[in-house]
Structure 1
C-alpha cells in the first residue's frame, strides 16, 4: 500500500516557486470569474451626480446596466485585473508562505499570530504591485467611462494626474487589505484545521473555509472599501468636492456628511457576493494548483 502523502509539504525544496505559481493562477481565476459583480459594487459605491447612475441593489444595477449599456459594460476593465492579479497574487502567496514558515506557522498547534503576520505581510507587498491596476480597473468600471483600453486609461491618468493618482489610495488599500487578509487568512486556517485535521487535499474544505473567511473579512472592511473607491475614481467625478479629495480622512468625511452611517455600507451586498465565491475559488484554486504542481515536481525527482 502506498504511503499517504501530505500534499501541503511536497516537496520542501519547491515551496516558494510552487506557492507563487499557484497563487498567480488562483488570483487570475478569482478576479476574472467574479468581475461583473465587482463592477456593480464599484458603481454602487460612487457618489453619482446623475440619477441614471444611482442603483437600489445588485439586481437593479445588473438589469439597468445590461439593458442600457450591454453586458459587455460589466466586463470593462477586466484585463487590468488579469494583467495585475497574476503577479500580485504570486507575490502575495509567496510572501504568505515564506513568512508563515519563518514564524513557525506550519508547526502543530494554534499559530494565530504567525498566520496573521503572514497575511498582513503578504498583502503589503502584493498591494504595492496591484494598486495601479486597481485604479485603472475602477476608472473603466464607472458609469459612462471614457476608457475602453487598459493602456489608454493608464496613459491618460498618468498624463492628467501624474504617478500619484495610481497610489493616492494605497494607504487606504493597506488599511483595508491588512486587516482583510489577516482576518481572512486566520479564519481560513482555523476553519481548515477544524474541518480537515489530517491536512489532506479536500476541495469541500477549501471552498467552505475560503467562503467563511471571505464573508467575515469583506463585511468588516466594507466602510474603508467605499473610501478607497472614492479615492480611485475621483478623477472621473463631476463633483468638485470629490475631485479635491486627498486621502482617506477626506473620503470618510464626505461619506459621513452626505450619507451618514449607511454610507459606510455602500456596496456591502455585492462586495460580500463577490468576495465569498471569489475567496472560495481563490483558496480552492491555490490549494489545487499547489497540490498538482508539487505532485508533478515530486514525480520528476
Structure 2
C-alpha cells in the first residue's frame, strides 16, 4: 500500500546477511563514485608536493586549477579502483556490522546501545579495510598531480614490481587506527541522531540522510590527522622526496608532517574531507536502506 510504513529496526532483523551485504555493496559504490572529484582534491591537498603547480590553497582553487590545466576528467582518475574495491569492501562492512550488532544485542529496543554499535562498527572496519586498502593505494597513486597511471591494472602491476606487496599494506595499520574510531564515531552518532529524529523507528529517508550526513562530518573531522599520515604512506612511492619514500609507518609519517608543516599539517585536506564524507555518508545510508528494503521486498 502507498501509505504503508516500515519499521526501520525491523529491516535489519528480517533482511538477512545476504541482503545486508548486497545493499552495502551497492551503497558503497554509489557513495564513493558520487563524491570522487572532491576526494581527488583532498588527496592532492594532503600530498607534500615539491612543485608549486601541485600546491593548492583551497577546494575552489584546486578545482579551478585542475580543471583548467588537466581537464575535468583528471578529477575522476582512479574512480575505477574505487568501484572495483568499494563493492566487496562495503558488502563485508555492512554485513559484519549488522551481524555483530544483532548478535551483541544492539538491535534491542528501549535501551542505549552505543557500546554494541561502536564494537560492531569497529569489527566491520577491520574486515572491510583489509579488502579495500590495496584499492585505496592504487586510487591515490592515480589521483596525484601528473600521475603516470591511467589504468588500475597498470598501476597495480607497476607498484608491485617497484615496491612489492608491502606497498599495498604499509598504510593498513594507520588505516585501522584511523578507521576504527571513524567508524565507531560514525555509527554511534548515526544511531543516536536517528533515534532522536525518528523515535518511532519508522522507515524515514530524511532521518537517515540527516543522521548519516552529521555522522560523516563529525567522524571525518576527528580523524583527519590520521588521514594525512595515511595519504603520505600510500603515495610515498610516487614522491621524489627521499625522506617521504623511506617512511615506514604511522610514526614516521607523523614526524614528517610535524617537521614539514607543524600542527596545521595534520589538518591538510580537512575541508574537502568533511565535504566528501558529509554528503557521501548521507547518500550511503539512504542508498543502503533503500537497497535493503528493495531487495528484501523483491
Task: Give the Å deviation of 1:295.
Answer: 2.0
Query: 2:277 aligned to 269, 275, 278, which one?
Result: 275
How many residues get paired? 296
Match of 1:234 among 224, 228, 236: 236
In structure 2, runs of 5+ residues without a counterpart are none
Q: Is the 8 A contact 2:137 2:235 kept in 1?
A: yes
Residues 259/11 of structure 1: CA separation in 2 closer, same or farther (3 Å cut): closer
Distance 2:121 2:24 in 1: 13
Structure 1 pair 26–141 and aligned structure 2 pair: CA distance change class (3 A)? same
CA distance in structure 2 between the aligned counterparts of 1:121 and 1:204, rounded to whole angstroms = 27
What secondary structure does 1:238 align onto? coil
Supply the distance in 2 between the matched residues of 1:62 and 1:151 (Cα, whole angstroms).
Answer: 27
Give distance in 2, aligned partners of 1:29 and 1:201. 20
The offset of 1:32, in angstroms, is 0.1
Task: Report the Cα distance in structure 1 between the residues aligned to 2:185 and 2:48, rounded to whole angstroms.
Answer: 29
| d(CA) in 1 for partners of 2:222, 2:21 | 27
Give the structure 2 partner of residue 213 of structure 1.
215
Residue equivalent to 1:59: 60
**Structure 1 stretch 2-11 or stretch 61-70: which is displaced more?**
2-11
How does 1:125-140 map onto structure 2 within 5 Å?
125-140=127-142
The TM-score with structure 1 as length reference comes to 0.96
The 5 Å alignment of 1:42-53 reads: 42-53=43-54
Shift of residue 10, structure 1, vs aligned partner: 4.5
Aligned pairs for 1:8-157 within 5 A: 8-10=9-11, 12=13, 14-108=15-109, 109-157=111-159
Cα pair 1:7 1:291 within 8 Å, conserved? no
- Give the secondary-structure state (helix, strand or coil) at the position aligned to 2:223: helix
Q: With the length of structure 2 as denominator, give the TM-score of the two structures.
A: 0.97
Indicate how the Cα distance of structure 1 residues 34 and 10 shifts in structure 2: closer, same or farther if over 3 A, else same.
Answer: closer
User: In the TM superposition, what whole-angstrom CA distance separates every residue of 1:20-53 from its partner, at most 9, and x where no partner exists?
Assistant: 0110000000000000000000000000000110
Alpha-carbon distance, 1:199 to partner: 1.5
Q: What is the root-mean-square deviation in Å for CA atoms of aligned residues?
A: 1.4
Instruction: Tell me the CA shift for residue 200 of structure 1.
Output: 1.5
* Structure 1 equivalent of residue 187 of structure 2: 185
Shift of 1:197: 1.3
Cα distance between partner residues in 1 of 2:37 and 2:12: 38
Pairwise CA distance, 1:11:
8.3
Deviation at 1:198, TM superposition (A): 1.6
- Return the offset for 1:118: 0.3
The answer to whether residue 264 in structure 2 is matched with residue 262 in structure 1 is yes
Q: In structure 1, what is the Cα distance between the partners aligned to 2:92 and 2:10?
A: 20
Post-superposition CA distance 1:206-244 (Å, at most 9, x none): 110001100110000000000000000000001010000
Q: Secondary structure at the match of 1:168?
A: coil
Mark the CA change 1:214 to 1:4 in structure 2 (over 3 Å): closer, same or farther. closer
Which of these residues, 216, 223, 226, is aligned with residue 224 of structure 1? 226
After the TM superposition, list the runs of 4 or more consecutive aligned residues in structure 1 that deviate by more than 6 angstroms.
none
CA contact (8 A) 2:29 2:82 kept: yes
Alpha-carbon distance in structure 2 between the residues aligned to 1:26 and 1:126: 14
- Is contact 1:10-1:295 (8 Å) kept? no
